[in-house]
Structures are given as structure tokens and as C-alpha cells.
Amino acid sequence: MNDTSFARRILASSASLALAFGIQSGAMAQTAENSAEVNKGDSVGGDIIVTAQRRSERLNDVPMSITAINAEGLARSGVNDTADLAKLAPGLTIGFYSTNLSPAIRGITGTGGNLQSTSAVPLYLDGVYQPSQLATFMSLPDVEQIEVLKGPQGTLYGQGSTGGAIIVQTRAPSFTPTGKFSASYGNFDAVNVRGFVSAPLSDGVAFSLSGDYLDRDGFRTNFVTGERSVSTRSRSIRGKLLVEPSDAVKITVGAYYTKHRDSSSVAYSAYDNNSIGYLYAPTAPKNLDPDKFGVDPRSYVASESYGANLKMELSSGIGDLVAQGAYLHTKSVAFTDQDASPINYYNYVAIDWSSRHYTGTIDFASDKFGAFSFNTGVFYLDTLNLGNGGASYFFNPNGTVVPSPGMPVFVGASFTRQEKQVAAVYFEGQLDLTDRLHLTAGGRYNYEKIHAYRRTYLSLPAPTPLSLPEYAHSPASFSQFSPRGTLRYEITPSSNVYASISRGFRGGGFSIAAAGDPPFRPETITAYEVGFKGRPIDALTVSLAAFRYDYKDMQVLLYSAEPGKPAVTFETNAASARSKGFELEANLTVTPELSISGGLAYLNARYKKFTGAQAYVPNATGTGNIKLSDQDRSGRRLLRSPEWSGNVSVNYEREAQAGKFSAFAAITFSSSYGLDNDLIVQTGSFARLDGELSFAPTALDGVRFVLWGKNLTDRQYPAASNVNDFGSGFAYNDPRTFGARVEFSF
């Protein structure tokens, strides 16, 4: 099918579906009035309120694909942190790069291979852009709502949001005393305590405080030593102070601290037992058990982040002004076994991988002036990234055995410094062409400037290091205009169809591992989408979207292919790629006690043209990978892009004299997708079952007892990978976990 016929078919299909729903809605749906002033987290006639367009609107009225989940839905689904969000949003997958969380939406994702790499699906916490991929993992003890925006968000959000954006809203301080606390215990000796409390301090002043504590044994056992993988430890605390000197002014000061250590994503085994370690020890044991792992050292990753922000909100007779400034700091340590075998061949440790960021935004959302309203704003970012890395070989690359056990024959270290400044301005207007037809159009101008420096030291194996040439890049700058236009038609007050075209932009940069190379270019996406949102009947909400993306200068992570040298990863640009598909989400209230929700996503995301690529291929003996150059990847699927994915959940609640009983079950499923650019490590098709049973006794007001389980069928599959010269390492997803929890809220 050619592109023109594909576009015509999805347009025709959407129009036909919209007409069918419109006829049905006209006969069965009740009329609802639009609310001019609504707040996020509220509902209007049962509709979810979102802030995706930087103003509070009904979800059905926003002309883009959005999955919105409130606090109750997150808790019921067992989503405790951002790594679990893929269970709830069709079309979203989550990948891991050591300490980094790398989301992918509709096949669009970041490389994760660079300190300065920006995520293609950035995360915003309470309106603050999180520049570092080290900070994308976070626990959610005080979340109010999460919105997963699908498709390029270049106009309103910018900053690399070529795939979409994840908007996390935490609970604001309240002038009514409120709180929620929970304590949970589960298998693997897992202890999780979390809580939120808010209360007024005086007239016009209130505070909130939230925290989370998690301590859990490692999931897997080393199949050689019998040691358990490094335990998970997580601590976080967040505080806010709200001052309201008048009804029109709000000032919020916030600060947070979080510390996290885990080994799940680096407890490697060799995929298909492919590792160079078996070249030097062919009789060494091989791991065939998903409950075990095979690396020699006790690998782990740890991260720490903290920050503060000041937010000022002013409501006037012409609109709402929000000004916000923030300071963010993150750092991490990673200790990993790069050959993924029990043989102590090649280890890598990244020390003091840190970043510091200052961000500032001013956003204005106007009231309606007749048929017209608008949003406008400015954005500034100043970021500094520092990396101190170390590597040790216990065998020479030519195969010479270590002369004395435990002493490396090769030690390498590197220091990297990267700086980046970003400035942007945007404007978007909304015009009511008629009482049912609405036009939105706008754009964002983005300017970025970067600078990079790198120095490498080697010791072979003398204690005096050898300093290799240093690389200091001249500053490089990139600029781009990202427009967006949408047309929305109201079939009924509760049902809409829309069509949109938008452009996303992600700036270029320098590869820190190949510092002498020229910068890689910015990537751009032009996206086309048509969709329907509405209530065909009172008990059913439906969202359907069909899309096509044209990807130009796609940024990818490749490997050097110089014979006789270990691999060096670097970022470069593929020529072009294309992503197209459709998504369906629906929520059905069968009875007041029973509801069913589900989503389905189809995706065809492939390189359109990508010649001259470097690639890895496992060698015939299963003792590492061969580097090949000048490969043609045209037509191959993109990283983390399953053809089919989705979820189905059922929730049942029953009030009785003794109390309220609830039961929840959810299935998440996906076809196979690749975890590395060469698609060596594959997840395989999988389905996961999660569930929860709870009881809230009438005699104990505010108390709820919960039995919970995740991955109840214990379906284990590759969830993280590390493919290099020395082999194909991978780590499994979390196994079956279960436990009990008690909650108290007021």
C-alpha cells in the first residue's frame, strides 16, 4: 500500500467511524455543558480534565492522543514508579540504559548513549522539564495525575519531545487537613512505606510532605556463586509550601530528594549464551534459568537526585500567568559486567556521572476573547553534564591470560564535560470557526548551543597512566521552528473528531565516546494524525487515532568498526524512517459496580532509508559479536517498536454493610520487539497478569486492607540489553511479586 492510499484510508475510516458514533450519540447521549473553569484532577460530567495544552480542558476536547491516569487508577494497577507506566498506556514501551529510563512512544525513543542525550519522550514534573535521563525514574507516592501525550509536542513543550511527553502532576498543598499512608510487605522480603500529608499553617499558607521507602532483596541468584543480586533500596521525600496572599495569586515553593539503588536492569546473562568469556573458559557453566543471572561481579546501578523550584501563578481578567524556575541535580554510579559471563573478562564502572540544570519558564493562557484564545510563553535551560568513567580488562584483547588472578592487564579512564544552553519562545492560538468547528495553530522557535570536552587515560598495566589526546569541540548551535495545526469538529457536546499536523525537533550534539567526530545533526518528525474522542453512549468512552510519522535525520546509537579495537559507541543520523499505525482506548461502565477498560495499539515503524550503518552480528562460535560496516538497515523495524500491544482491565466494587469490597485484574500484552539497534536481543511475545483484592471495613473509617500481585503468571522475558564486542548481555523483567498492604487516609 502506498503512502497516499494509506492516508486516504485512515481518513476515510475515521470519518466513517465518527459519523456512526455521531448518529448513535445523537440518539443516546445526554447533553453536557462545557465548563469554562475546571481544574486538573476534577471531572465534568464524568470526563477527565487534563492540562496537555497548558490549560485545563476536558480530555475529549483535546485534539491529540492522550492516556490520562489519576492517583486511584495508578494505585489500583500497582504502578508505584514511572518504570511501570507502559502497563497503562498503549503504544508506550519503557527501556533501560543502565541508570536511565528511556521511554518509547510509537517507535520514537532516545539513544540513551550520551550524557547530554535528551529523551525523545521527556518527563515534566509539576510543570518542570526534567533534562537528565538519569532523573526519569521516580517513585510516585503523592501523584495526582499522569498524562501520556502521544505524538510530537514541539510547539507547547519542545525540548526533544519528538515522540511525546509524560506529564506528572503531584498533589498540591491543601487548606483542608488531608493525608494518606500505606505500608506493604511482599515476597523477596519487600518492605514499602509511603505517605502524603497536607494541612494549613495559617490563613493563606499550607504545606504538603510526601515520602517513600522501599527495601527489597534482589530478584535473582548468581548461578555460579549462589549470591543474590544486589538488593533494591529507594528513598524519596518531597515538600511544598503554598502561599495565597489573595484569590488571584499563588506562590509555591517545592523541594525534593531521592536516592535509588537497583540491580534488576544489569543482572545480566548472555543472550543465547553468546559471550567472549566462553572463548577463554569454554567449560564454564552457562545460565539457562530466568531466576538466575550469570555475571561475575555483583553489578548494580545507583542514582541520587535533588532539586528545588519556585512557582508563581497570577490570575487576571485576561488570563492566567505562570512563572517557574527550578534547580535540578542528578548523579549516578554504575558497576556492570560488559561480557555478561561468569568469567572476569571485562568490567566497566561509571563514577560520578552527574548533571546540573537550571530551568526557567513563563507561560500565559488567555481567557476567551470572543471566538479566540491563545497560549504563549518562553523557556530557558542551562545544563552541565560531567562524566568520570573507568574500565578494566582482565584479559588482553588479543587473548593473553591475566598473569596473576584478580589483577587487570588493562585499565582505562575518561573525563567528559558537556554544556548546553537552550532558549525558546512559542505561541499557539485557538479560533472557533463556528460553534462546532475549532482551529488551533501555532509554532515554537528553539535555539540550542552546546560544547563538549573529553580526555582519556590508559594504563597497560603500569600504574603511571598514559594520557591520550584530548578533544575539545568548538561550540555548535542548532535552531528550528516547530509548527502545529489542528482542526476539531464537535459531533455532539461529548464527541469530537480531529485532524492534526505537527513537527517535532530534537537538537544535535557530540558523541562523548568519539569526541573527535563532527556533531550529529538534529532530528525532525512531521506527524499526521486523525482521530475520534467521545461517548457513543453514556456508559462508554472511546478514543481512536490513526497516525503517520515521517522521520528525518533520525538519531541512532552505533558502534565503531575498526579492526582489532574494542567497540566505541557513538551517535549519528540515519537518513529517514517512517512510523504508522492506529490506537484504540475504551472504558465501559457495565454496571455501577463493574467497569472494563482496554487499549490496543498497532505499529509499523521502520527505517525508510539507512545505508552505511555499522552493526553487530553474533559470531558462529557464540563467543562474542562481529562488527560489520556499510550495512543496509533500510526496511528494518525500529528499536522498541512492537507490532501489537495493549491492555485489558476489569474493576469490580461492591458496597456491603460490613464495608466496601473491590477486585481488580489487568492483562498487559505485546508482540516481540528488539531491545538493541541490531535487534539481537528480542523480548518475544508476552502477556502479564496483575491483580488486587481489597476491603475497606465500615467500622474503621479511612482504613483499607489490600492483597496485591504483579506478573502473577511469572512470565519472564528480556527487558534490558547490553550488546557489544564481548557478547550480548540481557536482563529479565521482574518476576512474580505479591504481598499485602494496609492503607489509611483522611
The whole-angstrom separation of Cα 217 and Cα 738 is 14
The whole-angstrom separation of Cα 110 and Cα 554 is 10
**Hunting for cell 522501599 — which residue is that?**
214
**Hunting for cell 545480566 — which residue is that?**
268
Residue-wise burial string across 250-264, b where 16 or more C-beta atoms lie within 10 A, e elsewhere: bbbebebbbebbbbb
| All three cell numbers of 645 | 500491544
Residue 559: the pLDDT is: 65
Query: What's the Cα-to-Cα distance from 154 to each of 90, 334, 426, 719, rounded to whole Å?
Result: 21, 33, 9, 29
Beta strands in 394-522 (DSSP E): 410-432, 437-459, 466-467, 471-472, 476-492, 495-506
Residue 695: the pLDDT is: 98
**Hunting for cell 497478569 — which residue is that?**
689
The whole-angstrom separation of Cα 70 and Cα 68 is 7
First to last CA, the chain: 58
Residue 399: the pLDDT is: 45
Could you tell me if 612 and 595 are in contact, meaning their C-beta atoms sit under 8 angstroms apart? no
DSSP state of 127: T
Nearest to 661 by CA among 715, 697, 686: 697
The whole-angstrom separation of Cα 191 and Cα 737 is 12
**Domain annotation for the chain: domains and CATH numbers:** 13-745 (2.40.170.20)
Helix (H, G, I), strand (E, B) or coil at 16: helix
State the pTM of this model: 0.88
| All three cell numbers of 362 | 513563563
Instruction: Read off the pLDDT of residues 59-99 as tens digits, 9 standing for 90 and up.
Output: 999 999 999 998 888 888 888 888 888 888 999 998 876 55
**Hunting for cell 495569586 — which residue is that?**
249
Residue 483: the pLDDT is: 96
Residue 371: the pLDDT is: 97
Tallying the residues shown for the chain, one arrives at 746
The whole-angstrom separation of Cα 463 and Cα 120 is 42
For the chain, 746 residues long, the average pLDDT of each consecutive 10-residue run is 41 36 33 38 60 90 92 85 87 77 88 66 92 78 93 87 92 96 98 98 97 96 89 95 97 96 90 87 85 82 93 96 96 85 73 87 96 97 86 55 51 80 96 97 94 73 58 80 96 95 88 63 93 94 97 79 55 86 97 96 94 84 82 91 97 96 97 92 96 97 97 95 88 96 97
Q: Residue 264 is which amino acid?
A: S
Per DSSP, the chain holds a count of helices (H) and strands (E) of: 3, 44
Residue 102: the pLDDT is: 84
**Hunting for cell 476536558 — which residue is that?**
58
In sequence order, the 6+-apart residues with CB closer than 8 A to the CB of 53 are 62, 156, 375, 428, 440
Could you tell me if 124 and 348 are in contact, meaning their C-beta atoms sit under 8 angstroms apart? no
